[in-house]
Amino acid sequence: MTASPTLPIVPKAAPKISFVSLGCPKALVDSERILTHLRAEGYELARRHDGADVVIVNTCGFLDSAKAESLSAIGEAMAENGRVIVTGCMGAQPEEIREKYPNLLAVTGPQAYESVVAAVHEAVPPAHDPFFDLVPPQGVKLTPRHYAYLKISEGCNNRCTFCIIPSLRGDLVSRPAGDVLREAEKLVKAGVKELLVVSQDTSAYGVDIRYATSPWQGREVRAKFYDLAAELGELGAWVRMHYVYPYPHVDEVIPLMAEGKILPYLDMPLQHASPSVLKRMRRPGNQEKQLERIRRWREVCPDLAIRSTFIVGFPGETEAEFEELLGWIREAKLERVGCFEYEPVGGAVANGLGDLVPPEVKAERKRRFMEAQQSVSARLQKARVGKRLPVIIDAVAGGVAKGRSKYDAPEIDGNVHVTSRRPLRVGDIVTVKIERADAYDLYGSAV
């Protein structure tokens, strides 16, 4: 018998993954983690489903409309490719998905990174080539390079009656402060200029681990909202806080905003202003106290911009309760406001709490709400004309750049349209003289 010649190792092409990321910034962070892991193993990202070895759909199951969007994304992936793995919030209810698409390769729930990765391995094993192990230390980002979401915890200890997130994602699990800070530092070193802190309830950070300390740069840092904010503020990037609830200890963070350590911005989803509706929603809330709290925050940091979201047409919402909300919104003068019509999410306690408000009444209330807010916003926007504001550039096209001020988060708030004599690049932070304003956007020139 002759020895067989040594066969040359023919490098196998890297397996290709097509990825759809739906839902909120927290889901986006999950997507980034999955992709970072897979890229580290040598998988490549495909631009289209067609031709990919497998498609992953990270779904959102928060509202029925989000579920419908998720199901349609799965349908598209099945039609164009046929080898599909589903993960994310909707994956917590696999029967609903399997009923419609029985031939999926796998369905895994939220935060089940290992299961998604295992399902991918099974569908298409990783190629063994050390070259593919090269992955940027900050991981794979789905956001543009100059900003990044920083997830500080999973799950939620609250039980708002309209929300099924705790049943999908479980109770609050906070990351150690040192881990969060190391990730943030890597991102900043890789060129990220703006860190967007996200979680289900950012101000509750660390409650579950009793604010345990962890090492960071030779010191012990507590897993506490203030401590984390103060440390993030030292990294030299813009730091923007999302999903902060108006608990008393948030007061401590406002001076950091006044000192310019973190951005003077709070994304604070309040959902309603009528005490009786808030009670049915099981939200903490004495609105009088909240108005007082906001007033005090503005005394400490006059520059503070607050964004919030509200739900109209919650089960049993009366005209008088809605009027309370309108009055509150006129008085609170929040910079940015979103309004949603209540949607009866399957499994939410709220569905049984009162008569459902008819769709035409919900639509009418939303219209009146937005009208009330528009006059507030128009006044606030006008007050910015003539000011010089730092603006972070998000996009440049045909000599005009689009960016955001400190008062605007990406995707959800307004833009600043910037003209400039010198070329601007994405990620630049430039001073812009504001010349004009409309209800949402500002217009000006770089100085």
Residues between 186 and 215 that touch ligand SF4 (CB under 6 A): 200-201
CB of residue 186 to ligand SF4, shortest distance in Å: 27
Among 163, 263, 334, 418, binds ligand SF4 (CB under 6 A): 163
Rounded Cα gap, residues 248 and 246, in angstroms? 6
What is the closest distance, in whole angstroms, from the C-beta atom of residue 169 to ligand SF4 in the complex? 8
Q: d(Cα 34, Cα 286) in Å, to the nearest integer?
A: 40
Which string of b and e fits 62-72 if b means at least 16 CB within 10 Å?
bbeebbebbbe
174: nearest Cα among 205, 197, 215: 205
- Say which residue the tokens 């203030």 belong to: 226
Mapped onto helix, strand or coil, the DSSP state of residue 240 is strand
Q: Are the CB atoms for 426 and 394 separated by under 8 Å?
A: yes
Nearer to ligand SF4, 201 or 428 (CB): 201
The answer to whether residue 160 forms part of the interface with ligand SF4 (CB under 6 A) is: yes
Kindly tell me which residue out of 119, 165, 209, 301 binds ligand SF4, with binding defined by CB under 6 A: 165
80/101 Cα distance (integer angstroms): 14
Nearest CA-CA partner of 196 in 250, 151, 248, 261: 151
| Nearer of residues 100 and 159 to ligand SF4, judged by Cβ | 159
Binding residue for ligand SF4 (CB under 6 A) from 75, 94, 144, 166?
166
Q: Given the complex with ligand SF4, which of 247 and 363 has the nearer CB atom?
A: 247
Residue 158 binds ligand SF4 (CB under 6 A): yes
Q: Which residues of 235-263 are buried (b: 16+ CB within 10 A; e: fewer)?
A: bebbbbbbbbbbeeebeebbebbeeebbb
Residue 287 contacts residue 275 (beta carbons within 8 Å): yes
| Residue closer to ligand SF4 (CB basis): 163 or 424 | 163
Which residues from 22-41 bind ligand SF4, rule CB under 6 A?
none
C-alpha span between 324 and 322 (Å, rounded): 5
Secondary structure E strands in 179-302: 194-198, 213-216, 219-222, 238-241, 265-267
Output 166 or 255, the one with its CB closest to ligand SF4: 166
Measured in degrees and rounded to the nearest 5, phi and psi for residue 254 equal: -60, -40
Q: In Å, how far from its chain's centre is CA 41? A: 27
What residues between 98 and 157 interact with ligand SF4 by CB under 6 A? 156
Nearest approach, Cβ of 270 to ligand SF4 (angstroms)?
Answer: 11
Query: Can you name the residues that pair with 88 across neighbouring β-strands?
Result: 59
- Cβ proximity to ligand SF4: between 57 and 160 the closer is 160
Q: Which of residues 244 and 334 has its CB atom nearest to ligand SF4 in the complex? A: 244
Show the binding pattern over residues 245-274: x = contacts ligand SF4 (CB under 6 A), - = does not: ------------------------------
Q: How far is the CB of 165 from ligand SF4 (least distance, A)?
A: 4
Residue 79 Cβ vs ligand SF4, minimum distance, rounded to whole Å = 33
Least gap, CB of 21 to ligand SF4 (angstroms) = 19
**Span 271-330, contacts to ligand SF4 by CB under 6 A:** none
Burial annotation 384-407 (CB, 10 A radius, 16+ → b, else e): beeeebebbbbebeeeebbbbbbb
Number of residues that bind ligand SF4 (CB under 6 A): 9
Q: Which stretch binds ligand SF4 (CB under 6 A): 11-19, 159-167, 225-233, 402-410?
A: 159-167
* 394 binds ligand SF4 per the rule CB under 6 A: no
Interacting residue ranges for ligand SF4, rule: CB under 6 A: 156, 158-160, 163, 165-166, 200-201
